[in-house]
């Protein structure tokens, strides 16, 4: 295949672009930061987000939207979830027709409570809709660039799109499974970041392994509850985009959302933490979306609720733990 284009030159966009060099002659990585793109083209590294990791000579950066999109056989949208609609407003007449358009952002839009595929459908003309897909699963960018084995799910409402994208991404180190559950895959990918903040807070407070295991397990119950209410398949949440991604993000040292939680648990303020971070921790803003979705859908999400109150209202992590532990006893399977 000749050309793939990735919009969004952060760590994950860069990693996805590197993965695609296994199957494409040319991979264009579009970014807004001209200095970053220039450095990437000169050094074959992303100095801001993945310093010291060499990228394929097939990969080059661009700042011109039209030139980046022209002739692409695959388009990947890797901008942060809250910035995706803005990008699509600038590119909707630039995307090639009849090629897969795959979102990899793991978030839910704050204002609309839309998933990323819904944002794509609302932002792009109807002719593009049968070609929209989402990629999600346990995948740290650094390990992808290093060629470590990674396994993900690609979901689309249209089987031909999921299958086409599956083949375009698959390589010796990057295995892909297809799915038609775009809701479950996206809810799992988005809300696991919120649960990872909670798991990080537990670690930051020094609450031990029992506490972390409880947060992961009950967090999965929350994610499954809201995903099913929204029309997702519960089996999806026991797979790569659910349990797989949740465990990775709640326990992995490379997890940005877990790091935010750990620092909150140690007593730092959210403003202080975010000022020190170059990359976006999607779970901070998704905590608001999760809380608003819970209210809208009438679904109880106690861990997500507490993360929202800590991140957005300044509640003490210790007070949140006390409230969670003091909830009225109930059946585990309800």
The pLDDT value given to residue 325: 95
Q: Which residue, 180, 202, 218, sits at the end of a domain?
A: 180
Regarding whether 194 and 152 lie in a shared domain, the answer is no
pLDDT of residue 278: 76
CATH number of the domain enclosing 300: 1.10.1040.10
Residue where a domain stops, chosen among 180, 210, 245: 180
Tokens standing for residue 73: 């056989």
- The residue from 154, 180, 206 where one domain ends is 180
**Residue 157 shares a structural domain with residue 188:** no
Same domain, residue pair 245 and 136: no
Window from 59-63, 99-103, 242-246, 275-279 with minimum mean pLDDT:
275-279
Give every CB contact of residue 126 below 8 A, 6+ residues apart in sequence.
none
27 and 174 co-located in one domain: yes
Active-site positions? 192
Structure tokens of 262?
A: 């750990």
Query: Mind spelling out the 3-state secondary structure of 131-162?
Result: HEEEEECCCCHHHHHCCCCEEEEEECCCHHHH
Tally of domains in the chain: 2
Question: Nearest 5°: CA angle at 22, between 4 and 12?
Answer: 65
For 275-296, what is the mean pLDDT? 91
Domain that holds residue 304: 183-325
334 domain residue, yes or no: no
**In b/e form, how buried is each residue of 128-143, taking b as 16+ CB within 10 angstroms?**
beebbbbbbbbbbbeb
Strand partners, 103: 77, 134
Asked, for residue 138, whether it belongs to a domain, the answer is: yes
CB 257 within 8 A of CB 290: no
Bridge partners (DSSP) of residue 26 are 3
Separation CA 319–CA 308 (nearest Å): 13
| Mean pLDDT, the chain, whole residue set | 96
Residue-wise pLDDT tens digits, 189-238 = 999 999 999 999 999 999 999 999 999 999 999 999 999 999 999 999 99
**Lookup result for tokens 């090629």:** 99
User: What's this model's pTM, rounded to 2 decimal places?
Assistant: 0.96
Q: Distance between CA 75 and CA 90 in Å, rounded?
A: 15
pLDDT tens string 134-166? 999 999 999 999 999 999 999 999 999 999 999
How would residue 65 be classed by pLDDT, with cut points 50, 70 and 90? very high
């Amino acid at each position: 295949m000749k050309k793939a284009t990735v919009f969004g030159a952060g760590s994950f966009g860069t990693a996805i672009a590197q993965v695609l060099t296994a199957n494409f002659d040319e991979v264009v990585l579009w970014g807004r930061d001209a200095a970053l793109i220039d450095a990437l083209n000169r050094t074959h590294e992303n100095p801001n987000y993945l310093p010291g990791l060499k990228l394929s000579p097939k990969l080059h950066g661009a700042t011109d939207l039209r030139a980046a999109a022209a002739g692409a056989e695959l388009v990947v949208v890797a901008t942060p979830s809250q910035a995706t609609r803005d990008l699509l407003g600038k590119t909707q007449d630039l995307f090639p027709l009849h090629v897969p358009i795959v979102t990899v952002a793991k978030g839910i839009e704050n204002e609309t409570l839309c998933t990323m595929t819904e944002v794509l459908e609302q932002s792009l003309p109807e002719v593009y809709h049968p070609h929209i897909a989402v990629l999600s699963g346990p995948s740290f960018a650094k390990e992808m660039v290093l060629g470590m084995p990674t396994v993900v799910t690609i979901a689309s409402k249209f089987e031909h799109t999921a299958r086409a994208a599956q083949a375009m991404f698959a390589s010796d180190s990057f295995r892909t499974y297809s799915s038609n559950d775009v809701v479950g895959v996206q809810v799992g990918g988005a809300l696991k970041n919120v649960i990872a903040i909670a798991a990080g807070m537990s670690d930051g407070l020094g609450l031990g392994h029992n506490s972390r295991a409880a947060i992961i397990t009950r967090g999965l119950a929350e994610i499954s509850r809201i995903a099913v209410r929204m029309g997702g398949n519960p089996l999806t949440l026991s797979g790569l985009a659910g349990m797989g991604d949740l465990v990775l993000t709640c326990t992995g040292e490379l997890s940005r959302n877990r790091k935010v939680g750990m620092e909150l648990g140690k007593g730092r303020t959210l403003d202080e933490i975010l000022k020190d971070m170059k990359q976006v921790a999607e779970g901070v803003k998704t905590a608001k979306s999760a809380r608003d979705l819970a209210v809208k859908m009438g679904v109880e999400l106690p861990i997500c609720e507490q993360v929202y109150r800590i991140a957005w209202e300044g509640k003490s992590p210790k007070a949140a733990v006390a409230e969670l532990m003091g909830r009225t006893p109930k059946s585990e399977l309800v």
